[in-house]
Structure 1
């Protein structure tokens, strides 16, 4: 009887193992999860730098590592920084071949009215004239032309209202759920006339947090890095049937403009100004090894010549460079202390691992040792070369380094640098019964 009972136990165990193995090998039918809105602490190192703005943030453009934050979750008017969402959707439409750079479009009567309002930044579009998507894109980013941004939206979606809905959907795809978007250009709802968003208050303005504006910048720079080729242009002529309008970039930190500082290397992205928003600026600067994104919202705006937003951006960039050191981790780099991972049921008990992608971590210059750890110490066989096998986490002393997507600790993927097969069924069964 004992022999029969033991044999029955072995058979049941075998069946259980086979069933579990079968369940684990099929493809998942779950749809990919939409990014969730991540709540990051509202202030980060803000006591180290007293910026004269309502909110501000500095991050690494690739990893989202948070380097400074003041009121970063506070939702505030963003004015023409809105146009970065408009240009993203335009670039996406071109990528999907719904438009081309040479596609020609004509403005509506309402767009012409906005484009010729001298109270707004613009190039003077005319009824019956045709303009290429390239012209409108350049005018939107360089001159912050409101009429040009509206005509881009018209070209992509057929109407301002439909485009605003697309903007809202795109932001939600990025996990941005608290944005308020009413116009495609950043003007108050009342300022776009018959293109105002229906059902919204006439004084309604586009609003986002500094953190979420930084996320928009991340997606633009990572999905369409070519945008820098336009945002770095200080001056350009807008040609309209023989007449020319000189466009001057509102980002005065560019080379050749009044707030240029050679050591800061700012080459984009977008300013924004309304009475409610004050002076705003999302900027980006190229370090030799990395690219930073900064956002300042609600800086002083005494008059049209006030450089406050650029002065505050300069202070923020200098704070980052003074307090952090960019540390490059190259693709496939083996990190001392985390060079291998154990493999359960593997022909090899361990495999070598390294960094999956080239990334930069900004190590604080605070005298604390930067340490790198693996988030798991064992994986299941089989393992294929280049397979993601876990993540690296980072600490400065006892303090975790964080990102705007990972407030509990920034993580970078580790990959297998070699492969190993799974041991045979009998050995796996033996390991299950007796360990190993």
Structure 2
């Protein structure tokens, strides 16, 4: 019976586009660029489809890219009404002490003085200020270790594995003057795979896109009109007016330590599409911080110029190439099928002549042993999925890959009257007897 149902219900569709061959964990196409870094990743923001990856599953230093987690939690607190942008933050001795280390990225903070959440957030997002980051963490959770615990919980909730988080700044513990997470090594440092930090960026953009309003500011003055005034030039040199300016770039977070090297999680738009890039350990770290932007530029060129976004199956269209589903006890004997959403992918520009096929897979729990659905059926009821064949060849950053779309009944089929249903019961009864004898 199963073989018969498969023939009836699993009908392949085709489209005149190519299916790229993707190999996990390495560069994937013959014409793909080489990125000079310890790890790199490029993906589509909307679907999470990976366009390039190299060593993206290996945990590496993330440095100040850590601060995206602080931003996320800060936005959570503001959304919850626990803070607002004008809330006052009193600077602790610890936050003050770190802020006075000008070998690090910092704005000057005064111990015991009040600053607004907005001031400290802008210092974090634009200038990667470490003392300001610690001050926000202490305001939210009372101490940096307590905030680290919350960061770890957040990372776990994103499904990220193979990471270590010890502080809010991404600094090596040795810079924190003994104020590091309990029982952590004095030289411990935050690590995460490129795929992990990319998930953080995706979640941040998905839930709090307003982060781009600040991350896209090339330069801003901190505490203008005071003795502590300082010009904060964004460390993201790909923003407008800076040394590696690129149109469409509006974020997201840089990071640099001796251990991590020069790192950058970038994001850019072109023709309505947004890509997210990660470059880890580019160049020689402090001595060549610009290399990460050169490599990021290569990634964006590759994604926007060498790939095209193609809708394979349109939303809300009847699937004329699929046999209608048979209906049991309905006023109609079958129901046609339609899509509930579009199925779209990025494909290389030179891959558009081959065939990509799909299979319809009905919900097994809806079928009887004859492959029928019991009436009534409402238009829009989900009855199965349209699944991309060989979907492992297109990879997504999330395990919940968008390799399928839901398929629904195109029309409403009412339940038949009593006599029709009763007649079917009798037929089924005598049919079962016949099968027995």
Alignment-derived partner of residue 412 in structure 2: 420
Shift of 1:430: 7.0
**Could you tell me which of 165, 179, 201 is aligned with 2:149?**
165
Distance between the aligned counterparts of 1:73 and 1:347, measured in 2? 54
**Could you tell me which of 252, 255, 262 is aligned with 1:279?**
262
Shift of 1:306: 3.5
Shift of 1:334: 2.5
Distance between the aligned counterparts of 1:125 and 1:273, measured in 2? 22
CA distance 1:383–1:115, shift in 2 (3 Å):
farther
Shift of 1:135: 1.6
Alignment-derived partner of residue 42 in structure 1: 25
Unaligned stretches of 5+ residues in structure 2: 1-22, 367-372, 433-437
Matched residue SS, 1:195: coil
Unaligned stretches of 5+ residues in structure 1: 1-39
Alignment-derived partner of residue 401 in structure 1: 394
Number of aligned pairs? 391
CA distance 1:239–1:391, shift in 2 (3 Å):
farther
Alignment-derived partner of residue 62 in structure 1: 46
Alignment-derived partner of residue 244 in structure 2: 259
**Could you tell me which of 45, 56, 70 is aligned with 1:86?**
70
Contact 1:370 1:395 in 2 (8 A): no
Distance between the aligned counterparts of 1:385 and 1:250, measured in 2? 53
TM-score scaled by length of structure 2: 0.80
Alignment-derived partner of residue 19 in structure 1: none
TM-score scaled by length of structure 1: 0.81
- In the TM superposition, 1:210-359 aligns within 5 A as 210-239=194-223, 242-243=226-227, 244-262=229-247, 265-301=248-284, 303-304=286-287, 306-328=289-311, 332-334=315-317, 342=325, 344-345=327-328, 349-356=334-341
Shift of 1:375: 4.7
Q: Deviations over 1:52-106 (max 9, x none)?
A: 1011111111211011110110100100000001111111111111211221111
Shift of 1:316: 1.2
| Structure with the larger RCO, 1 or 2 (CA within 8 Å, 6+ apart) | 2
Contact 1:93 1:99 in 2 (8 A): yes
Q: Deviations over 1:149-204 (max 9, x none)?
A: 11111121111111111111111111112110000111112222353001010110
CA distance 1:373–1:422, shift in 2 (3 Å):
farther
Distance between the aligned counterparts of 2:272 and 2:261, measured in 1? 33
Structure 1 range deviating more: 281-290 or 200-209: 281-290
Matched residue SS, 2:302: helix
Contact 2:383 2:409 in 1 (8 A): no
